[in-house]
Amino acid sequence: MKVLTLNFLTCAVKTCKSSADSFPLHPKDAELAHDDIEINPELLANVLPRIDWTALRTTSTELGFPELPAQPPTVEELEADEALLKELHSLLLETQMMEGKLVCGCCGHEYAVREGIANFLLPSHLV
């Protein structure tokens, strides 16, 4: 599972959705893999406006990556900064979480990730 995907996912428990603590989910015991993908600066520029930057900073730090700037770059700044482009490309699209858990900061439920696929099906008592 890609780090960019994590920016769109939250706890599947209905009552958690209104809580700020349910996003982003927190990786635990994460085993990461790295895919080599050709960089696409235009795509990144179009993805940047829809990223929740605060959540991405949290995820990035929790996965052991260097801290991202406190504020997101503007599209112009991103396009002019090759190092940042490469860093974001590597983090968002090339990094895969293959195994581990995703933990909700609100209810504490742990979603298993196996072979790169996260399982958000809830046990019946949480549905």
58 HSE (CA, 13 A, CB side): 16
- Tell me, residue by residue from 42 to 81, as one string, x for binding to other proteins by CB under 8 A and - for no binding: xx-xxx-xx------------------------x------
Which of helix, strand or coil describes residue 120?
coil
Q: In angstroms, give the least distance from the CB of 85 to other proteins.
A: 15
Q: In angstroms, give the least distance from the CB of 82 to other proteins.
A: 18
Enter the tokens of residue 84.
Answer: 């940042």
Q: How far is CA 75 from CA 38, 45, 95, 97, in A?
A: 19, 6, 22, 27
Rounded to the nearest 5 degrees, what angle is found at the Cα of 82, between the Cα atoms of 8 and 88? 20
- Tell me, residue by residue from 87 to 116, as one string, x for binding to other proteins by CB under 8 A and - for no binding: ------x---------------------xx
Q: What's at 83, amino acid-wise?
A: A
Radius of gyration of the chain (CA): 15
Residue of 21, 33, 40, 71 that binds other proteins (CB under 8 A) = 40
Task: Give the binding site for other proteins (CB under 8 A).
Answer: 1-2, 4-5, 8-10, 12, 14, 17, 23, 40, 42-43, 45-47, 49-50, 75, 93, 115-124, 127
